[in-house]
Amino acid sequence: MNYLMHPADLVFGAKAYIDGFNHVVETEDIQQKDLLDIAMHVVSEWSSDWPEDQGFGSSDRTYMIKDFIDTILWSQTRDKYKTVFNSGLRVVNNK
């Protein structure tokens, strides 16, 4: 299967560019293996559903990262956190 992006790049993008994500990973002790497993699932799902004739741009990448993070927040923290767009995508406490 041709992926829209490599699963490891999805994890790296979330860790490198999304405010609050590293805090959640560290605070909730989320393992790298779990991050990669979820990234593989998200990338596979997006890649299989994506029309061949449609490009994949930076905003699409941002929404894939959001989907990845939302999946982690639900499965690993039971929604203690949420993603928001506030001058960029970030992770905040779900209060």
Give 36-73 as a DSSP string: HHHHHHHHHHHHHHS-TTS---HHHHHHHHHHHHHHHH
Q: Give the Cα-Cα-Cα angle 59, 57, 69 (nearest 5 degrees).
A: 45
Report how far residue 81's alpha carbon sits from residue 76's, in angstroms, rounded to the nearest whole number: 10
SS3 83: strand
Which pLDDT score is estimated for 95? 76
Which pLDDT value is given to residue 6?
Answer: 96
Instruction: Say what the pLDDT of residue 87 is.
Output: 87
Q: What is the pTM of this model?
A: 0.94
HSE-up of 47 (CA within 13 Å, CB side)?
A: 14
CB 65 within 8 A of CB 13: yes
pLDDT per residue of the chain (95 residues) written in tens, 0 to 9: 789 999 999 999 999 999 999 999 999 999 999 999 999 999 999 999 999 889 999 999 999 999 999 999 999 999 899 999 988 999 999 87
The whole-number pLDDT of residue 62 equals 96
